[in-house]
Amino acid sequence: MLEIKNLTKAFGDMVAVNDISFKIEDGHILGLIGQNGAGKSTTFRLILDFIDADQGEILWNGKPISKDDYNVIGYLPEERGLYPKDTIENQLIYFARLRGKTKKEILPKIDYWMEKFQVKGKKTDKVKSLSKGNQQKVQLIATLIHEPKLVILDEPFSGLDPVNAELLKMGIIELKEQGSCVIFSSHNMENVEKICDHLMMLRNGDMVLNGTVHEIRESFGRTILEIETLLLEDELSSIDGVLQVEKLRSNTYKLHLADAAVGEEIFTKALTQEPYLTVFNQQPPTLEEIFKMKVGEGHE
């Protein structure tokens, strides 16, 4: 279990991380979101002891992280770094040996991971011969091949097409099932929503959201309504409490409500026009919408 207590880091007058606390249980995934400069990468660097905290504690299984503990950590930085003139095999062995593994332990696992992530190339190929996407997969394999118990992934989905992003999601879920703690940052809210057990959002170094995806979404109220109705767009817009109407397709609209209770009034009014509503789906805002709201608050 990773536990962060009252972590703070400033660079001069700029507070990059401001008194944040959270924990990740074994076999759980935490998604860390926030705009550029929110403090996500700084948080990762503090955990990894790349930089010193001004205050706070970082505990692994209840104790301060020791030098030996870093052998059970896998870290994928946002800035990728491989040796283009060396082979895939040599690099994977090299990075694994930095984590205390032997060549004999790692060699049998290279084929498994390359097949799992569908790397287009042979393990004897030089990295420079691979596409950008396949290079990214190799770097991810280097992060995971020593079977870490704590995995830190900084924007792992960046630059991946949907097929490869799905492969990565499956890999992250497999780590979870094996009992690893996983923390990753992403700007893709769909990926966050699908695989996270817990979600945290930073804004200018402050923690502004902390909870499960379901808890966070429900805390904003069921203020998004998709409806298929004979009511006209102007009629829907004129209802008190309807903030915005988006036409999705013929007779189908997405409404932003000031309050969830407005949905009941719309439901009643729609039933006066038609005996059967084929679509009436009232939900909380998506993570994407919540992200934009919280970032917007920080610029007011």
- Whether the per-residue pLDDT at 291 is higher than 80: the answer is yes
Q: Which pLDDT score, from 0 to 100, does residue 205 have?
A: 95
Pair 14, 118 in one domain: yes
The residue assigned the tokens 């301060």 is 64
Pair 206, 240 in one domain: no
Pair 43, 78 in one domain: yes
23 φ, ψ to 5°?
Answer: -140, 155
The pLDDT tens digits of the residues spanning 179-236 come to 999 999 988 888 888 899 999 999 999 999 999 999 999 999 999 999 999 889 999 9
Q: Fill in the amino acid letter for 189.
A: M
The pLDDT tens digits of the residues spanning 35-67 come to 999 999 999 999 999 999 999 999 999 999 888
Pair 175, 270 in one domain: no
Pair 268, 137 in one domain: no
**Integer Cα distance of 37 and 39 in angstroms:** 6
Pair 252, 274 in one domain: yes
Domain edge (last residue) among 217, 236, 261: 217
Pair 123, 166 in one domain: yes
Report yes or no on 103 lying in a domain. Answer: yes
Report yes or no on 247 lying in a domain. Answer: yes
Other Cβ atoms within 10 Å of 44 Cβ, number:
21
Q: What is the pLDDT confidence band of residue 75, given thresholds at 50, 70 and 90? A: very high
Pair 242, 184 in one domain: no
Number of independent structural domains in the chain = 2
User: Which domain does 243 fall in, by range?
Assistant: 221-283
Who's near 228: CB < 8 A, 6+ residues apart?
251, 252, 253, 277, 278, 279, 280
**Integer Cα distance of 289 and 293 in angstroms:** 6
**What CATH number is given to the structural domain containing 253?**
3.30.70
Report yes or no on 300 lying in a domain. Answer: no
Hey, what long-range contacts does 289-294 have (CB within 8 A, 24 or more apart)?
289/224, 290/209, 290/216, 290/217, 290/220, 291/33, 291/189, 291/201, 293/220, 294/201, 294/203, 294/208, 294/209
pTM for the model: 0.86
